[in-house]
């Protein structure tokens, strides 16, 4: 009886570990395919100086604030002076805000001014 329990326990252990190990290694998700944009070591000087971005016929000015967004939450719509410009994936034109990335998951937002 004691021998049967040991064999049953060992058999169950192999089944459970084989099942769990197989599930982990058979993942067919998007491993390694999550969108990732590089973050600069330091923001461009023209951004820190408050210079506008010219995009889509408007001047966009940096706001002294940022939003925490995942790279998968944004979409790159262009570049200006070698800096990537983003919008949130849920945004539609005309955009209320555009973004530049300045650190991991930190995006400075930019707004148009009515007088420009």
Task: Return the domain boundaries, the chain.
Answer: 45-112
Its pTM stands at 0.70
C-alpha 71 chain-centroid distance? 1
Exposure string of 14-49, with b = 16+ CB inside 10 Å and e = fewer, is eeeeeeeeeeeeeeeeeeeeeeeeebeeebeeebee
pLDDT greater than 60 at residue 80: yes
On average, the pLDDT of the chain sits at 84
Q: What pLDDT sits at residue 34?
A: 74
Question: Mean of the pLDDT values across residues 89-108?
Answer: 96
Q: What pLDDT sits at residue 21?
A: 57
pLDDT greater than 70 at residue 78: yes
């Amino acid at each position: 009886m004691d021998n049967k329990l040991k064999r049953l326990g060992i058999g169950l252990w192999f089944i459970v570990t084989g099942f769990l190990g197989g599930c982990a290694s058979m993942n067919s998700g998007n491993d390694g395919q999550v969108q990732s944009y590089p973050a600069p070591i330091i923001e461009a000087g023209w951004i820190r100086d408050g210079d506008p971005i010219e995009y889509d016929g408007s001047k966009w000015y940096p706001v002294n604030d940022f939003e925490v967004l995942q790279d998968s939450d944004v979409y790159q719509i262009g570049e200006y002076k070698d800096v990537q410009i983003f919008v949130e994936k849920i945004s539609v034109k005309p955009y209320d805000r555009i973004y530049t990335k300045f650190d991991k998951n930190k995006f400075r937002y930019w707004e148009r001014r009515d007088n420009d």
